[in-house]
Amino acid sequence: MKILPAVACALAALVSAAASAAYPERPIKLIVPWAAGGDTDVIYRTFAPLMQKQLGGTIVVANVGGASGTKGAKEALAAPADGYTIFAVHDSIHATYYTGVADVNYTDFEPICLVSSTPSIVTASPKTSWRDMKALLADAKARPGQITVGATLGSTSHFFPAMVEQATGVKFKYVSYEGTAPRMNALLGGHVDLAESNLTQKGKADAGQLRFLAIATATRNDEIPNVPTLKELGIDVEYAVNRGLLALKGTPADALARLRAACGAAARDPGFAEAMKKQGTLVRYLDHDAYAAFLRKEDGLNKALAKELGLLKR
Amino acid sequence: MIGRDGWAGLVVLAASLVLFALTLRLEDSPLVPIGPGFYPRIVLGATALLAAWMVLADLLAARRAAPRAARVRRNYALVWLMFAAFGLYVGTLAYLGFRIATLLYVAAVNALLDRPRGARGWARVAVVALATTAAVYVVFERELSVLLPRGRWTDF
Amino acid sequence: MFELLGAGLAGMLQLKYLAPLAIGALVGVVGGAIPGITITMTVIVVLPFTFGLEPLQGLAAMIGVYVGGETGGLIASCLLGIPGKPSAVATTFDGFPMARKGEPGRAIWLGIWASIFGGLLGAIVLIAATEPLARFALQFGPWEYFSLFILALSMVAGLVESSLAKGLASGALGCVVTILGNDPVLGRERLTLGIPWLEGGIPFLPVLIGVFAFAQIMSDVEKMGGAASAEQALDRGVSLAVSHARVLWDILSRPFVLLWCSFIGLVIGVLPAIGGSAANMLAWDQAKKFSRHPEKFGTGIPEGIIASESSNNANVAGSLVTIMAFGIPGDAVTAVMLGALTVHGIQSGPLFISQNAQIAYGMFAAYILAHAIVLAILLLGVRWMLRIVVVPRSILFPVVLVLCTVGAYALGNAMASVYVLLVFGVAGYAMVKVGFPLAPFILGVILGDQIEVNLIRALMTNPDPWLFLTRPISGLLLGAAVLSIAAALWQHHRQRRRMAAAGAGDADF
């Protein structure tokens, strides 16, 4: 019978992966808690292959978007702590925890390493009359609570304009636009006046479809030398979205060590820095100890911020 | 006399009213001026009204007592078995893992839809199940990097 | 624009894209040819494969399925008298009689060539209209989107044959699905009914897969074990030889039918959520009305086949316009495509074509090339199609259901979607049994969250609810929604009076 060899082949294909080897013996799932195509997704789709090379196993990016990034966090928490699920986190985890959007906290995870930092830019719709930050502030003072800001509520894109509000004493009106892409659509169509964005939108700013007003870094950025920093303008706000990787608490030590080593090597890969530059993102590597300290500091800052902004819910 | 549409309308009406009652317990959120219950109440209200319309229309419609002659004989037992098999498959997928559960499921459905007769029949069932499972597994997990569920009991 | 299209065509000719396109077209032709397997189901089966591919590869495969399916559906229609899919129903009216009169080859090739011409006419409009429409759509704020979605829902509900109340209730039930589990604005739990896998809300693709796959498969299963099915009556020795020159002359000597019916297909396609099943009937009816010999329709004349087949392929182009310009699915097939786009992180909507020009023009190119490929497949393999039409259900069904499960699982890499698939599989079958139309329900599920998000956005931007009526585009759209309901009411009223006694129709998809 000709069928027997085929059956044997099928059986072999099914069983082959069962022979166990050292970690990682099967694909690792990297949960990105945002929609594919977003900033986080783009960064990790670049990062995963580099880390994969170091790790000698496959990393599959799984987008579990929704609910201000907390849906993916819950999904990650529900997975077994075997080193085969890792979580791509950014600052919003602190914000969503303190604003009461979700119960997931960074302390539920084990740090692997910090990967990147993306500075925020105050961005205006081309349909507004503001040429610069000063005009925006003057208008905002004249019409308190009427300038609309598109934001993922309770997350970084909400916190950043809220910090500007606080530093300058103006009052904005927030409208829910979750994710960078819908926010940019709304800016372009003039359905909101203002939003947080970053250098990934440089193309649209150059084409006059968006207007960069000020960047929240200490010094001006080489890519956009004519955009002033908020600090120059006397607004004491520095803000960036920092992205790192976390593993589940209780992940076996050897797996964790492999992940940390691979993450570090991938972050130092010159190809990664090159790719990130196009994303308007700086590579910012911190090993797990430094990252743990960083997370603690950020957590405190976010709590204080949430409190000052009147959003603290716990 | 109430007909099929009427009963369907009543079920929908009851369900939407229960859900409507549940929305009243939703708290307003701090960041959005309109609470999370606002839109559900609109939708459920509309659903309830439409369901009521269905019931009314059914009650008012003149009953046609015309039993259709050549009725197709319908094999509902097979439908139930198919649903039961799929339910079992989905239920055990997370525990047995994709490969084992799929093998069993494909074999079961193939046997259900075409009763195997004799050794040849059972051989066919086995080949179909094995080939399907192996092909799907190899194509997705190996070639396309689409992860398939692993068994919590079997870790396979 | 032409440079972009040229680049798109050149890119699409690479093996990397050509292979998925050709495989998709083949799968589509086969799926379309098998009675009881709709294009929706075929595209659902193809969906999980696209997760592992590049976005454009996946989309090329889906476009191949779509075009192939619309064309392949006519084979069963002509030879068996059973439509391979709902959008080929009108093809049976003239295709089957013509085949019975001893001209099966002519019937099939008339249909194939009419499909190709209709599809290519559609392509012109697709390429010319998408960009201007997208620019127009950019002016749409949350008010306009809200009103557009309401219009789409009311139009689909109004098209339902059985009763308007049921159509509307079906759409409302679809929206109810989206309010369960999770609030789309802040992502908080709401109305989870204590079910853990409901916490993240209900994603629309598993619902769509479950409802369509089970409604269809189970409706077939319940008829199994009965009388011998018509497939066995198929004469496999039938000769399909035909003079292509004569068939082409048949079509081109009737330019009015071809143009007018392609146009009808396009318009129906552009209107959100009304699929090819409406297009081919309407086109056939129109061709009959405008004909000098309407009494011959239904006896096996070329016009009938041309009308039906040119309209259903042009309809594909129309649906693609809507999804590319507005990000709103024109039918269930494009809804699955929308899902595939989202999985790959491509934001469909007015900015799609300008921000993803490479993908957009790649899709145009794929659409054009798909017709050539489908033609080649049929020229080479129309004989084998006759065999494929009779593939055993006992193998087909489990394979399809396993692929549906993989698709649902891979969507969010979570079992939750698979449970949703099961629940809505049962619900879909139950709806068919109770006579709830599926199309408005699915549209409600697809649009529900968007309706809520845009409603809340509008009210957060400006609390004045009258803006929905006073903003001109939004007001117009809402007016059209009211009109479409009124028209449906009037139509149903008239129909009921005309035919007081008639049996209940079969399930409609």
**Predicted pLDDT at C373:** 93
Q: Which of B103, B138, B150 is opposite residue A13, by nearest beta carbon?
A: B138
> Could you state, in order of their start, the residue ranges of all structural domains in chain C?
2-498
Answer yes or no: do A13 and B134 touch at CB < 8 A: yes
Contact in structure between C504 and C435 (CB atoms under 8 Å): yes
Contact in structure between A187 and A210 (CB atoms under 8 Å): yes
* Euclidean distance between CA atoms C342 and C329, whole angstroms: 13
Least confident of A166-180, A275-289, B102-116, B142-156: B142-156
**Residue A32, helix vs strand vs coil:** strand
Find residues 116-155 of chain A whose CB sits inside 8 Å of chain B.
Answer: 153-154
**Predicted pLDDT at C502:** 44
**Residue C101, helix vs strand vs coil:** coil
Q: What are phi and psi of B75, to 5 degrees?
A: -95, 75
Q: Which of A176, A178, A188 is opposite residue C460, by nearest beta carbon?
A: A176
**Residue A245, helix vs strand vs coil:** strand
Number of neighbours of residue C312 by Cβ within 10 angstroms: 39
* Euclidean distance between CA atoms C11 and C7, whole angstroms: 6
Task: Tell me the β-bridge partners of A126.
Answer: none
Number of Cβ pairs < 8 A linking chain A and chain C: 89
Residue with the bigger pLDDT between A26 and B80: it is B80
Q: Which are the contacts of A39, defined by CB distance < 8 A and separation ≥ 6?
A: A118, A180, A198, A200, A241, A279, A281
Number of neighbours of residue B76 by Cβ within 10 angstroms: 12
DSSP class of B142: I
Task: Tell me the β-bridge partners of A30.
Answer: A61, A86
DSSP class of B139: I
At C323, the amino acid letter reads I
Residue in B with minimal Cα distance to C167:
B50
Answer yes or no: do C186 and A35 touch at CB < 8 A: no
- Mutate: best of B29, B90, B132, B148, partner C, most C CBs <10 A: B90
Task: State the smallest CA–CA distance between residue B70 and chain C in angstroms.
Answer: 12
> Could you state, in order of their start, the residue ranges of all structural domains in chain A?
23-118+241-308, 121-215
Q: Give per-residue pLDDT as tens, A105-135.
A: 888 899 999 998 889 999 999 999 999 999 9
Residue B112 has pLDDT above 80, yes or no: yes
Q: Give the tokens for residue A147.
A: 């300038």
Answer yes or no: do B133 and A7 touch at CB < 8 A: no
Least confident of A155-169, A206-220, B97-111, C404-418: C404-418
Burial class (CB in 10 A: 0-12, 13-18, 19+), C105: buried
* Euclidean distance between CA atoms C264 and C306, whole angstroms: 13
Answer yes or no: do C343 and A191 touch at CB < 8 A: no
- The segments of chain C whose pLDDT lies below 70 read 1, 36, 84, 161-162, 225-238, 272-276, 330, 345, 388-390, 412, 498-509
Q: Are strands A147-151 and A121-124 parallel, antiparallel or unpaired?
A: unpaired
Contact in structure between A175 and A148 (CB atoms under 8 Å): yes
* Euclidean distance between CA atoms C217 and C213, whole angstroms: 6
Residue A21 has pLDDT above 80, yes or no: no
Number of Cβ pairs < 8 A linking chain A and chain B: 47
Residue with the bigger pLDDT between C24 and B30: it is C24
Answer yes or no: do C187 and A102 touch at CB < 8 A: yes
Q: Give the tokens for residue C70.
A: 């619309």
**Residue C189, helix vs strand vs coil:** strand
User: Which residue, B102, B122, B5, is CA-closest to B55?
Assistant: B5
pLDDT band for position A9 (50/70/90)? low
Task: Tell me the β-bridge partners of C189.
Answer: C182
CA distances from A134 to A131, A168, C133 (A): 8, 11, 36
Q: Which of C221, C398, C418 is opposite residue B106, by nearest beta carbon?
A: C398
Residue in C with minimal Cα distance to A149:
C461
Residue with the bigger pLDDT between B30 and C56: it is C56
> Could you state, in order of their start, the residue ranges of all structural domains in chain B?
4-60, 86-143
- Residues of C in Cβ contact (< 8 Å) with A68: 186-187
Q: Which are the contacts of C173, defined by CB distance < 8 A and separation ≥ 6?
A: B12, B47, C436, C441, C444
What sections of C236-356 are H helices per DSSP? 244-252, 255-270, 276-290, 302-326, 332-343, 352-355
Task: State the smallest CA–CA distance between residue B132 and chain A in angstroms.
Answer: 9
Q: Give the tokens for residue C39.
A: 């294009």
Answer yes or no: do A191 and C344 touch at CB < 8 A: no
Task: Tell me the β-bridge partners of A121.
Answer: A197, A215
- State which CATH number among 3.50.50.60, 3.30.360.10, 3.40.190.150, 3.40.630.30 fits the domain covering A23-118+241-308: 3.40.190.150
Tokens 């040819």, residue? Answer: C33
> Is the previous residue joined to A24 through a cis bond, with omega within 30 degrees of 0?
yes
Contact in structure between C174 and C440 (CB atoms under 8 Å): yes
Answer yes or no: do B141 and A29 touch at CB < 8 A: no
Characterize C343-375 residue by residue with b for buried, 16 or more Cβ atoms within 10 angstroms of its Cβ, and e for exposed: bbbbbbbbbbbbbbeebbbbbbbbbbbbbebbb
- String of DSSP letters for A86-122: EEEEETHHHHHHHTTS-S--GGGEEEEEEEEEEE-EE
**Residue A30, helix vs strand vs coil:** strand
Angle subtended by helix axes C357-388 and C104-137, to nearest 10: 160
**Predicted pLDDT at C91:** 87
Task: State the smallest CA–CA distance between residue C413 and chain A in angstroms.
Answer: 7
* Euclidean distance between CA atoms B38 and C147, whole angstroms: 18
**Residue B113, helix vs strand vs coil:** helix
- Which class is domain A121-215? alpha beta
Residue A288 has pLDDT above 50, yes or no: yes
Rounded to a whole number, what is the largest CA-CA distance in chain A? 87
Residue with the bigger pLDDT between B63 and A18: it is B63
Q: Give the tokens for residue C451.
A: 């309706």
Q: Which are the contacts of A264, defined by CB distance < 8 A and separation ≥ 6?
A: A113, A285, A287
pLDDT band for position A45 (50/70/90)? confident
User: Which residue, C120, C264, C208, C109, is CA-closest to C447?
Assistant: C208
* Euclidean distance between CA atoms A149 and A217, whole angstroms: 20
Find residues 65-124 of chain A whose CB sits inside 8 Å of chain C.
Answer: 66-68, 70-71, 74-75, 101-102
Residue A18 has pLDDT above 70, yes or no: no
Contact in structure between B81 and B112 (CB atoms under 8 Å): yes
Task: Tell me the β-bridge partners of A85.
Answer: A29
Contact in structure between C98 and C85 (CB atoms under 8 Å): no
Answer yes or no: do C163 and B54 touch at CB < 8 A: yes
ipTM score: 0.91
User: Which residue, C276, C161, C214, C221, is CA-closest to C404?
Assistant: C214
Answer yes or no: do B47 and C173 touch at CB < 8 A: yes
Burial class (CB in 10 A: 0-12, 13-18, 19+), C132: exposed
Left if phi > 0, otherwise alpha if psi is -120 to 50, otherwise beta: which for A67? left
Beta strands in chain B (DSSP E): none
Percentage of residues of chain A with pLDDT beyond 90: 30
Contact in structure between A33 and A71 (CB atoms under 8 Å): yes
- Residues of A in Cβ contact (< 8 Å) with C139: 189
* Euclidean distance between CA atoms B138 and B98, whole angstroms: 12
* Euclidean distance between CA atoms A36 and A156, whole angstroms: 18
Find residues 9-28 of chain B whose CB sits inside 8 Å of chain C.
Answer: 9, 12, 16, 19, 22-23, 26
Q: Give the tokens for residue C508.
A: 């409609």
Task: Tell me the β-bridge partners of A229.
Answer: A215
* Euclidean distance between CA atoms A174 and C180, whole angstroms: 25
Burial class (CB in 10 A: 0-12, 13-18, 19+), C28: buried
Question: Could you tell me the end-to-end alpha-carbon distance of chain A, in angstroms, rounded to an integer?
Answer: 70
Residue with the bigger pLDDT between A148 and A45: it is A148
* Euclidean distance between CA atoms A181 and A187, whole angstroms: 10
Residue A2 has pLDDT above 60, yes or no: no
